[in-house]
Amino acid sequence: MTTGEKIIKLRHQSGLSQVDLADKLGVSRQTISKWENDQALPDAYNLKILSKVLKASVDEIIDPDKEAKHQDDNQIIGAIDHVVSLGKRHWQKIGYYFIYAGLALLAMGILVSVMSNSLFGSFDLIGDDFMESPLSMFDIIRNFMLIVAIILLVAGIVLVIYDRYKQKTYKQKIGSR
């Protein structure tokens, strides 16, 4: 939004005509028209009085990106609020996704262990030699996958239990009314 467009908007919000604004500032109506059509900008003195009359900061009047930045911030905040509200309503669904991802990683970890066994020898799911010898790439991948899988499984189970508890208490509240 240009400075002129902002002046028009603020003038309309204040319920002033161009003549009324010109009288308050001690300038001609043509000067106000030039400002509003972006043919000229108010000088520092007039800008100060303009900000008082229109009840807006000088920065708000002359900064072309001020409103765009504010709208962008509002859009970002709105998107975050939307994601949070979806999460709050769907704890159980998110929990099941975590469980599915954890099971998939667990299966892949076992697959990596089997591949490691076929290439390097004995089958060892946890890796007893974890601290004793340098780890092969398979051991690192397998251990990472198993740790993440366990974290996802535990988080998923906690979310599902939490959501069921929340639904149970909600049904009890409704039932007691």
Q: What is the distance between the alpha carbons of residues 129 and 136, in angstroms, rounded to a whole number?
A: 11
Q: What is the DSSP string of 94-106?
A: HHHHHHHHHHHHH
Residue 57: per-residue pLDDT: 84
The model's pLDDT over 97-141, given as tens digits with 9 standing for 90+, comes to 999 999 999 998 888 778 777 776 654 555 555 444 445 777 788
Encoded amino acid at 112, one letter? V
Do 88 and 128 touch, CB atoms closer than 8 A? Answer: no
Nearest to 12 by CA among 30, 36, 31: 36
Distance, first Cα to last Cα, the chain: 53
pTM of the model: 0.42
> Taking the domains of the chain in order of start, what are their residue ranges?
3-68, 90-175
Residue 126: per-residue pLDDT: 54
- Mean pLDDT of the 90-101 span: 86
The model's pLDDT over 13-69, given as tens digits with 9 standing for 90+, comes to 989 999 999 999 999 999 999 999 989 888 888 888 988 998 888 888 887 665 555
Residue 71 has pLDDT above 90, yes or no: no
CATH of domain 3-68: 1.10.260.40
Residue 116: per-residue pLDDT: 73
